[in-house]
Chains A and B, each alone.
Chain A
């Protein structure tokens, strides 16, 4: 008997109604199991998201997973500190036990529970902020920390890369109703730039229709929670270049170790190569060159179209009003190594830009803090990321601020 004949015999032997019943049972059963998985923490020893638990390797964490991590970690009475932001706060170049959020936990002590939900290149409004908002009712004593470049106003609802978490939470009914934010998101989606050939480019839209539909379907079927759980705990089904073997990629993602290296072991010549210095200086100057100009009297003047129209208005509706005061924005300074390559005037412009950014965030109802200006050369792994010594210093700066915020917000009563 050939394989084809075996298949034909098997097909002929099937009972149609039983097959149909099996399809319904299988599908509905998994929806129910997915619902259960959404409430069960899979990442029990969570420290931070790695390349194996992020979109870099086609793993799209759900808001429920993040909420489960918090629930598994937090002890009764603790103040929740959710850390978001980009690779700097994720702790690139820090081993898990060197991580700045671990140091922050040490300095804050048992009264606080610090979770690191930062992702590479994510914005203030991305995944971590969504998880914190979704947990606001359950854990109202919370502080949200994220970082940004000084003149960067984040997109409400998240960046194009990470906004799936926002829509996931939105369709699961986990977000605080905020009409101003909804209006701004809708306006962003409709924003278009005319092109020379008569068509339009929509910079914020992407494939939003697909994302919304997926999130809506998931709010009924819980496929993301279920299959993420399987991929993390049991077996992975999606090949990706970070898990490159033809068979290896099927291993559970929990088997793959956190790959970030100890950045302090790299010599300074590797961390700050001369070949890329000019490019990095362009980036550093780019932080401030549009923010301030000198007037004819030699006095620095803020460039108001940027600060008022773009920045201040940009940060206006990123979060529901009640969540602004519990948000601490960290303005990440650049590596001290590059200071000597800047002119006195550029250094001065850089300093006042950061100061102005802190003032503006506070004006918008948030709390803000600049760090890194007094760090040693060794504290940075590259222009922006920190080594273990920088991580410890960052924790030293942030811990008192968190305690001060907790006091101010009435969490310590």
Chain B
């Protein structure tokens, strides 16, 4: 018996850092998901199911994030829950600010200090970094090293969900009184690491419905989605990644010579593969998360809807990472004024929203530029028809030949992925080489 408990305790020890990027791709996760799902099905009372699920989610979070990764989320979560309960509008704003500051600290401090401040004066950036390292508290991370400037697992998603929660409560939505449900909203294991970004108004009713009963449809659809997600990830995306990294290098070591040396057709072929790789990797992840939740009878929001079938940039963002783009729309673009204050404000608001969207994807300049690139694309997309002559002609052509609209959209989106995967200068060089420029 003692041996059993020792093994059980060992099973939930914090995982190594290398597992943070693989979570669904580990045997630990497979065993955890199978055991959790079976136990959840066997429990019949909704309250028991929810309690069990909450315990499982805590164990999941502990295993992959470790105590150091859980600590900031627990603090933020308790704060968000209590502020929500108070329904105090100012407190909600303060809570939103805290969540955003936490995100900035963990994810962007390094970027702000070294890349932004470093642009002005590199010595200042390094001095601040050194002082911060000396003075800020250190918490040992599970895999050695210290937990300073290292974002807790899923930080970007936690911050967005907490901001959404407090924003809605501030607007008048009823807060979650049941702490169990708040815990499940915060650390629901299928979506804990990388979304889809949930809305509590949709998630809680679905959670309750799942606890009340899981039907055969849920199970069949769940398995199908999980299988589809893994197929996209391990069969398509991983093989493409290996191939692309061999031929085009990585972010840190882009193989520009190979790209320039390839013929024009091959360059475009590489570009298509880059686009397919990110689609299958990320939508594969979302499928797995959605499928896992569905096995528990819970519906998560869809994240992708055939994005490469889009016929305009606007259309693309209604199909790509939907839970993020709708979050940006509701909690950045609209609060900034949206399209309510004329064309110029609308464009500026869009650019700000998309620059933030880019920055959310990673703390580096190439992500900011990628966001702005799409912001500009959207602005052009929304206004070009008003330009007499060329604009109207283009509008007419795209209406008459949808395939042309599709082609232009895909070329725009695919070129954008170069900014996503490679350093700014390399991406720009590769983009020019797509059009025959080689020097």
Chain A 193-228 residues near chain B, CB threshold 8 A: 195, 197-201, 207, 209-210, 213-214, 217
Q: Is the interface of B mostly helix, strand, loop or mixed?
A: helix
Interface string of A168-205 (1 = CB under 8 A from B): 00000000000000000000000000010111110000
Q: Is B10 an interface residue (CB 8 A)?
A: yes
Chain B 86-132 residues near chain A, CB threshold 8 A: none
Chain B 1-38 residues near chain A, CB threshold 8 A: 10-11, 13, 15-16, 18-19, 26-28, 30-31
| Chain B: interface size category | 35 or more
Contact (Cβ within 8 A) B140 A199: yes
In angstroms, Cα B216 to Cα A249, docked, is: 39
In angstroms, Cα B270 to Cα A53, docked, is: 29
Contact (Cβ within 8 A) B243 A244: yes
Of chain A, the residue at the smallest CB distance from B18 is A207
Chain B 190-209 residues near chain A, CB threshold 8 A: none
Q: Is B212 an interface residue (CB 8 A)?
A: no
Contact (Cβ within 8 A) A199 B145: yes
Interface string of B223-254 (1 = CB under 8 A from A): 11000000000010011101100100000000
In angstroms, Cα B305 to Cα A192, docked, is: 49
Q: Is B384 an interface residue (CB 8 A)?
A: no
Contact (Cβ within 8 A) A210 B145: no
- The 8 Å CB contact of A4, one of B13, B16, B235, B306, is B306
Of chain A, the residue at the smallest CB distance from B216 is A16
Contact (Cβ within 8 A) A195 B144: yes
Q: Is A14 an interface residue (CB 8 A)?
A: yes
Of chain A, the residue at the smallest CB distance from B146 is A197
- The 8 Å CB contact of A20, one of B28, B219, B235, B242, is B219
B8 to chain A, nearest CB (A): 12
Contact (Cβ within 8 A) B243 A246: yes
Across-interface contacts of A240 in B (CB, < 8 A): 242
In angstroms, Cα B235 to Cα A237, docked, is: 7
Contact (Cβ within 8 A) B216 A241: no
In angstroms, Cα B246 to Cα A195, docked, is: 35
Contact (Cβ within 8 A) B224 A19: yes
Contact (Cβ within 8 A) A19 B220: yes
Contact (Cβ within 8 A) A239 B243: yes
- The 8 Å CB contact of B28, one of A2, A213, A249, is A213
In angstroms, Cα B10 to Cα A4, docked, is: 46
In angstroms, Cα B223 to Cα A3, docked, is: 22
Contact (Cβ within 8 A) A16 B217: yes
Q: Is B309 an interface residue (CB 8 A)?
A: yes
Number of A-B pairs whose CB atoms are under 8 Å? 69
In angstroms, Cα B239 to Cα A241, docked, is: 10
Contact (Cβ within 8 A) B242 A241: yes
- The 8 Å CB contact of B309, one of A4, A207, A209, A246, is A4
In angstroms, Cα B288 to Cα A223, docked, is: 21
Contact (Cβ within 8 A) A16 B220: yes
Across-interface contacts of B31 in A (CB, < 8 A): 213, 217
Contact (Cβ within 8 A) B246 A14: no
Asked whether A210 and B243 contact (CB < 8 A) given A4-B306, A23-B223, A199-B144, the answer is: no
In angstroms, Cα B18 to Cα A244, docked, is: 25
Interface string of A1-25 (1 = CB under 8 A from B): 0111000000000101101100100
Asked whether A238 and B239 contact (CB < 8 A) given A198-B140, A199-B145, the answer is: yes
Contact (Cβ within 8 A) B220 A20: yes
Across-interface contacts of A2 in B (CB, < 8 A): 309
In angstroms, Cα B306 to Cα A397, docked, is: 67
Contact (Cβ within 8 A) A210 B144: no
Across-interface contacts of A213 in B (CB, < 8 A): 27-28, 31
Across-interface contacts of B143 in A (CB, < 8 A): 199
- The 8 Å CB contact of A14, one of B27, B220, B243, B306, is B220
In angstroms, Cα B15 to Cα A54, docked, is: 27
| Chain A: interface size category | 20 to 34
Contact (Cβ within 8 A) B145 A239: no
Chain B 303-352 residues near chain A, CB threshold 8 A: 306, 309
In angstroms, Cα B214 to Cα A16, docked, is: 13
Contact (Cβ within 8 A) A197 B306: no
Across-interface contacts of A19 in B (CB, < 8 A): 220, 223-224
A346 to chain B, nearest CB (A): 39
Across-interface contacts of B240 in A (CB, < 8 A): 239
Contact (Cβ within 8 A) B27 A197: no
* Residue from B13, B144, B220 having most chain A Cβ neighbours under 10 A: B220
A24 to chain B, nearest CB (A): 10
Of chain B, the residue at the smallest CB distance from A211 is B27
Contact (Cβ within 8 A) A209 B242: no
Of chain B, the residue at the smallest CB distance from A205 is B16
Contact (Cβ within 8 A) A197 B145: yes
B232 to chain A, nearest CB (A): 14
- The 8 Å CB contact of A209, one of B28, B216, B239, B243, is B28
In angstroms, Cα B240 to Cα A190, docked, is: 38
In angstroms, Cα B431 to Cα A52, docked, is: 36
Across-interface contacts of B144 in A (CB, < 8 A): 195, 197, 199-201
Across-interface contacts of B216 in A (CB, < 8 A): 16-17, 20
In angstroms, Cα B329 to Cα A156, docked, is: 58
B371 to chain A, nearest CB (A): 28
Contact (Cβ within 8 A) B28 A241: no
Across-interface contacts of B138 in A (CB, < 8 A): 197
Of chain B, the residue at the smallest CB distance from A18 is B220
Across-interface contacts of A17 in B (CB, < 8 A): 216
Of chain B, the residue at the smallest CB distance from A246 is B243
Of chain A, the residue at the smallest CB distance from B245 is A241
A20 to chain B, nearest CB (A): 5
B134 to chain A, nearest CB (A): 14
Across-interface contacts of A249 in B (CB, < 8 A): 239
B3 to chain A, nearest CB (A): 12
In angstroms, Cα B434 to Cα A208, docked, is: 46
In angstroms, Cα B242 to Cα A238, docked, is: 9
In angstroms, Cα B246 to Cα A297, docked, is: 59
- The 8 Å CB contact of B246, one of A23, A198, A244, is A244
In angstroms, Cα B30 to Cα A178, docked, is: 31
Contact (Cβ within 8 A) A217 B246: no
B439 to chain A, nearest CB (A): 28
Across-interface contacts of A239 in B (CB, < 8 A): 238-240, 242-243
A114 to chain B, nearest CB (A): 36
In angstroms, Cα B138 to Cα A197, docked, is: 10
8 nearest A-B pairs in the assembled complex, by CB-CB distance: A199-B144, A239-B239, A213-B27, A239-B242, A19-B220, A16-B220, A16-B216, A214-B27
Would you list 20 pairs from A and B whose C-beta atoms are within 8 A, ordered by A residue?
A2-B309, A3-B306, A17-B216, A19-B224, A20-B220, A23-B223, A197-B146, A198-B140, A199-B141, A201-B144, A207-B19, A209-B10, A209-B28, A217-B27, A217-B31, A241-B242, A241-B246, A244-B243, A246-B273, A249-B239
| Residues of B that sit less than 8 Å from A by CB | 10-11, 13, 15-16, 18-19, 26-28, 30-31, 138, 140-141, 143-146, 216-217, 219-220, 223-224, 235, 238-240, 242-243, 246, 273, 306, 309
**New A-B contacts (19) at CB < 8 Å, excluding given A16-B217, A23-B220, A23-B223:** A4-B309, A16-B216, A19-B223, A19-B224, A20-B219, A197-B144, A199-B143, A199-B145, A201-B144, A209-B10, A210-B27, A210-B28, A217-B31, A238-B239, A239-B238, A239-B240, A240-B242, A244-B243, A246-B273
